[in-house]
């Protein structure tokens, strides 16, 4: 059985495959992820950049992170699906949006980032610091 991860955008213009296992899997709740996805968080996997092969044209939107690094968010110019991320601070790593996988069920998050920006309507209870008001879910 192959451990290759495969996926692509909504319209199919961009396809990718990754030959390595994710080094890190987590949900990012930062405002950039919320703004770019329209959801409460983006599920991302970090993989060695050298293991990621991309077919098709990807457009990158760059923004400055709080760390001073430039974060580039890669998306399909045809359908706008958000697929990749990379930081100037760690060029050996590439981020893949887990929901773009052909089989997103292989994603196993172990971390939540920027939970201070998590929205109260976000249903994932795993990062709640106070259980009281959300105790019933
Ligand atoms: Zn597309
Ligand atoms: Zn984020």
pLDDT at 2: 58
Question: Percent of the chain scored above 70 by pLDDT?
Answer: 88
CA pair distance 134, 123, nearest whole angstrom? 10
Question: Per-residue pLDDT for 87 more than 70?
Answer: yes
The number of angstroms, rounded, from the C-alpha of 73 to the middle of its chain's C-alpha atoms is 9
* Of 10-14, 56-60, 110-114, 122-126, minimum mean pLDDT range: 122-126
Q: Tens digit of pLDDT for each residue in 32-67?
A: 999 999 999 999 999 999 999 999 999 999 998 878
Nearest ligand to the C-alpha of residue 85? 2
Q: Is 128 exposed, middle or buried (0-12, 13-18, 19+ CB in 10 A)?
A: middle
CA of 51 to the centre of ligand 2 (A): 22
Question: Per-residue pLDDT for 136 more than 70?
Answer: no
Please state whether beta strands 5-8 and 42-48 pair in parallel, antiparallel, or not at all (unpaired).
unpaired
Tokens 């045809």 sit on residue: 78
Question: Per-residue pLDDT for 16 more than 90?
Answer: yes
The number of angstroms, rounded, from the C-alpha of 22 to the middle of its chain's C-alpha atoms is 12
Using the Cα atoms of residue 39, residue 43, residue 48 and residue 50 in order, give the sign of their dihedral: negative
CA of 83 to the centre of ligand 1 (A): 9
CA of 57 to the centre of ligand 1 (A): 9
Over residues 87-104, mean pLDDT:
96
Q: For the chain, what's the residue count?
A: 137
Over residues 109-119, mean pLDDT:
89
Question: Percent of the chain scored above 90 by pLDDT?
Answer: 74
CA of 102 to the centre of ligand 1 (A): 14
CA of 1 to the centre of ligand 2 (A): 32
Nearest ligand to the C-alpha of residue 28? 2
Nearest ligand to the C-alpha of residue 56? 1
């Amino acid at each position: 059985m192959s451990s290759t991860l495969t996926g692509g955008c909504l319209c199919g213009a961009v396809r990718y495959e990754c030959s390595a296992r994710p080094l890190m899997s987590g949900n990012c709740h930062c405002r950039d992820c919320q703004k770019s996805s329209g959801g409460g968080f983006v599920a991302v996997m970090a993989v060695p950049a050298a293991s990621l092969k991309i077919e098709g044209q990807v457009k990158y939107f760059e923004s400055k992170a709080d760390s001073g690094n430039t974060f580039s968010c890669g998306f399909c110019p045809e359908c706008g699906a958000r697929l990749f991320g990379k930081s100037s601070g760690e060029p050996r790593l590439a981020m893949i949006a887990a929901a773009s996988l052909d089989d997103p069920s292989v994603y196993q998050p172990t971390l939540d980032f920027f939970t201070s920006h998590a929205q109260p309507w976000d249903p994932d209870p795993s990062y709640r610091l106070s259980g009281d008001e959300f105790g019933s879910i």
